[in-house]
């Protein structure tokens, strides 16, 4: 009992923590087809924020699907579970004051809405990387589209599984913009929501 009281007295309540200098609560969520440029843009934006001394972390397939979510496939229900866990992890990161950048296909509207509600809508910026299937397939960064066309991969988004395009994203970019131009667009959208270290 006493232990609980002591533990509680050391807890900073979330509202107070958010007023600490440099504390940020933001999830920048990049959605789009495989090869659309999500990871490239998330990492480039992270570099830009790094120059502002903002604490960041990038979540993507490389560090999530190979680790905490290595038990999941690309069936719709597993994608939902993948994104549910990503939402909960993002919530912890942003509660710790880290600007979190997430790059996932997230093809279903209901899963994206779940993420938004989990981190709270005020803390959520949706970036739709609207690169066409044609361009993604030409890039075929990981050779997945070729495999999907040959039937070697099932449930490939854009080929044999759907992508529900966001109807109302906060930001939309595409391959018509260069990488730097896309970063400028996204940065301008979020800069007022980022608290700088020395503010």
Ligand X SMILES: Nc1ncnc2c1ncn2[C@@H]1O[C@H](COP(=O)(O)OP(=O)(O)O)[C@@H](O)[C@H]1O
Triad 182, 115, 39: Cα angle to 5°: 35
- Please report, as residue ranges, which positions from 87 to 106 form the binding site for ligand X (by CB under 6 A): 103
Q: Which residues, listed in sequence order, are joined to residue 124 by a DSSP beta bridge?
A: 27
Q: How far apart are CA 163 and CA 141, in angstroms?
A: 19
- Among ligand X, ligand PPS, none, partner that 186 touches (CB below 5 to 8 angstroms by kind): none
Nearest distance from C-beta of residue 138 to ligand X, angstroms: 10
CB atoms within 10 A of CB 36: 28
Residue 173's nearest CA partner among 11, 77, 42 is 42
Answer for which of 127, 156, 171, 173 binds ligand PPS (CB under 6 A) is 156
Is 39 an interacting residue with respect to ligand X (CB under 6 A)? yes
- CA diameter of the chain: 64
Q: What is the DSSP letter of 176?
A: T
35 binds ligand X (CB under 6 A): yes
Minimal distance, residue 30 CB to ligand PPS, in Å: 9
Decide: is 177 part of the binding site for ligand X (CB under 6 A). Answer: yes
Q: Which of 179, 185, 189, 193 is the binder for ligand X (CB under 6 A)?
A: 179
Q: Which of 110, 114, 144 is nearest to 27 (CA)?
A: 114
Q: Which does 41 bind (CB under 5 to 8 A by kind): ligand PPS, ligand X, none?
A: ligand X
Q: Which spans in the chain are helix H?
A: 2-9, 14-17, 38-51, 61-64, 76-95, 109-119, 133-139, 144-149, 179-190
Looking at residue 30, the DSSP 8-state letter turns out to be: E
79 binds, among ligand X, ligand PPS, none (CB under 5 to 8 A by kind): ligand PPS
Q: How far is the CB of 156 from ligand PPS (least distance, A)?
A: 4
Smallest separation (angstroms) from ligand X to the CB of 61: 8
Residues that bind ligand PPS (CB under 6 A): 34-35, 38-39, 61, 65, 74, 79, 82-83, 104-107, 142, 144, 153, 155-157
Binding region for ligand X (CB under 6 A): 32, 34-41, 103, 139, 141, 175, 177-179, 182
């Amino acid at each position: 009992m006493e232990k609980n009281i002591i533990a509680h007295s050391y807890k900073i309540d979330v509202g107070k923590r958010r007023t600490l200098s440099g504390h940020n609560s933001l999830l920048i969520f990049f959605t789009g087809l495989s090869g659309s440029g999500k990871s490239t843009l998330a990492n480039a934006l992270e570099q830009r924020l790094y120059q502002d001394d903002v604490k960041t972390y990038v979540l993507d397939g490389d560090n999530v699907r190979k680790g905490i979510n290595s038990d999941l496939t690309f069936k719709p229900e597993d994608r939902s579970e993948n994104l549910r866990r990503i939402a909960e992890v993002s919530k912890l990161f942003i509660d710790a004051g880290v600007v979190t950048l997430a790059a996932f296909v997230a093809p279903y509207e209901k899963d994206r809405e779940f993420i938004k509600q989990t981190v709270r809508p005020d803390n959520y910026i949706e970036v739709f990387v609207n690169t066409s299937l044609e361009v993604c397939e030409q890039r075929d960064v990981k050779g997945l589209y070729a495999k999907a066309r040959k039937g070697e991969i099932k449930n490939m988004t854009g080929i044999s599984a759907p992508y529900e395009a966001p109807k109302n994203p906060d930001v939309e970019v595409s391959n018509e913009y260069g990488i730097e131009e896309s970063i400028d667009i996204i940065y301008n959208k979020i800069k007022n929501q980022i608290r700088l270290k020395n503010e």
